[in-house]
Amino acid sequence: MNGIANSIDDQEAPWVAGKTIGEVLRQTARKFPDQDAVYFLAKDVRWSWTRLDQEVDKVARSLLALGLRRGDHFGIWATNVPEWVVLQFATARIGVLLVTINPSYRTNELAYAIKQSELCGLASIDHYKSTDYFAALNEAIPELASQSTNCLTCEQFPKLKWVISIRGEAPAGALSWQDLLALSGSISNEQLQAAQLEVRCDDPINIQFTSGTTGFPKGAMLSHRNILLNAYYAGANQEFTSADRICIPVPLYHCFGCVLGTLCSTVHGATMVFPSEGFHAGATLRAIEQERCTAVYGVPTMFISMLEHADYPTRQLKSLRTGIMAGSPCPIELMKKVTSEMGASQMTIGYGQTEASPLVTQTRVHDSLDLRVGTVGRSLPGVEVKLIAPETGETVGDMEHGELCSRGHNVMIGYFKMPDKTTEAIDAEGWLHSGDLALRQADGYYRITGRLRDLIIRGGENVYPREIEELLFQHPDVEDVQVIGVPDRKFGEEVMAWIRLRNGSSTPVEELKAFCKAKLAYFKVPHYWKLVESFPMTVTGKIQKYKMREISIEELGLQDVAKIKTA
């Protein structure tokens, strides 16, 4: 073999090839007009494909009435609510790029996303749990409270003209959702159709942020073609039809939710079922039973929470057949439980990254159990995969460790306004470098074996230590800091900070933790803290994070967790 694996699937081009997201939704709505398209349990909102298509048209006309056009950027900062799905398709229908913003972001992270992605508009919910989104908006955009709702003028964000309140009483300077819908009547169907005809399948249509090693998130630009083909193959590998009902507890802002969830459902005519705004194990189990879901998605920690929930033994989950477990390394024993005890006998594992739209590889429903629990599958049709030696860049053979690289319809257009970072990620021959180490078996199936990058994956969320380190360096009592990941049974990994305080300082850990909580999304805040006088180093003075991890595992008593095997 030449060391480069092409997909061994022999399939004709899928029906979505060459189409836009708006066209795909329209065609699905015509094919399955009265079937359930989407159901939100928390809101008891159930729409047919016809109703969803109509709601999308209305919001698309409203966005046109605001002056948004093909190529403009519109952000959404919200949990899993019906308006999220409508905005996803409405923006795509008229060629406006949807910028998906993590609802866990704090004010400074939100401000960065607005500025870096050059938003023209932003839709937000009012609150969720303890987070006051409107308060954060007013802090990030001080001019908002003194503006009329006609058109925002903001020195810090010169392109931002509209803020939309998805629910609750709109704050000063923002339009309510009803105000937005009322604008739809000013745009004719002919104007909407003209806007749709301008959209091309290779246009960028999403900007999805992925954390950067510099501490600044990068916006991966994905096209209609990127994510529609990924959605098609993800569903084909699960053998989806219009009779399937997909339980989607994963967040919509992430590729898992808005590509493998909403778009996969739309491409195959399957029903999307959203149990709750954010993940809740009990609500997910209830949704599977009540809606007779045939598939369920989740990162490993979600499946662990469901299996350990008090309601689990009493729920009837016999409808389950398949789904996707992905987002972080999948413990082999967990997959065995999900496929046997939980009943999802055809559960698949996927591997990918946001820059890959997101899937690179996936197992198939008829693969042997050993392959489905012990590997991350083989490449999607139309996607090439190779493994290269990190030191030389030479392609390695079967059963040799190398960095996983992919090329094909899955590779992003690039990072928005970051050409240098794009060149680092995608080489001159079009190969996207993952930064993950893998090996390929002789049968073409892959196993992920490690990472080149200094990355922590906590419950499916990417956490880059440098971002946390740079923040903690700003604390006046911190002399030096190193952040690592340590194994965790529930989340896969947890964040740990080793801190060297300045001479004479006795700052308590709780103060440092509060300092982080004020500036970082909750999943980035270190769970473990260790105050030290020095760090393990090489003779040349390079800090040995692997040694820190070994010491931490020993001191925290995590030896058994560290031995858990993953695919």
pLDDT for the residue numbered 159: 96
Query: How far is 351 from 150, CA to CA, in rounded Å?
Result: 45
**338 assigned to some structural domain:** no
pLDDT for the residue numbered 3: 61
Candidates 78, 75, 76; CA nearest to 104 is 78
**253 assigned to some structural domain:** no
Confidence of residue 539 (pLDDT cuts 50, 70, 90): low
pLDDT for the residue numbered 543: 79
**41 assigned to some structural domain:** yes
* pLDDT surpasses 50 at 139: yes
**13 assigned to some structural domain:** no
Both tokens of 538, joined, read 């090489």
**89 assigned to some structural domain:** yes
Q: What CATH number is associated with residue 485? A: 3.30.300.30
Q: Residue 520 is part of which domain span?
A: 456-562
| pTM for the whole structure | 0.87
The CA dihedral of 496, 563, 211, 80, to the nearest 10 degrees, is -100
Residue-wise pLDDT tens digits, 381-392: 999 999 999 878
| Residue 165, H or E segment | strand 162-165
pLDDT for the residue numbered 4: 63
pLDDT for the residue numbered 451: 75
Buried-exposed string 373-391: b where 16+ CB fall within 10 A, e elsewhere: bbbbbbbbbbbbbbbbeee
CA 75 to chain centre: 15
**297 assigned to some structural domain:** no
* pLDDT surpasses 60 at 372: yes
Average pLDDT, integer, range 239-265: 97
Confidence of residue 466 (pLDDT cuts 50, 70, 90): confident
Q: What is the mean pLDDT of the chain?
A: 93
Query: How far is 212 from 229, CA to CA, in rounded Å?
Result: 26
Residue-wise pLDDT tens digits, 17-47: 999 999 999 999 999 999 999 999 999 999 9
- What is the number of domains present in the chain? 2
pLDDT for the residue numbered 393: 94
* 210 or 221, greater pLDDT: 221
Q: What CATH number is associated with residue 49? A: 3.40.50.980
Of 242-246, 360-364, 477-481, 528-532, the range with the lowest mean pLDDT is 477-481
pLDDT for the residue numbered 411: 98
* pLDDT surpasses 50 at 212: no
Query: How far is 251 from 453, CA to CA, in rounded Å?
Result: 24
Residue-wise pLDDT tens digits, 2-16: 566 554 354 578 999
* pLDDT surpasses 80 at 359: yes
**113 assigned to some structural domain:** yes
**365 assigned to some structural domain:** no
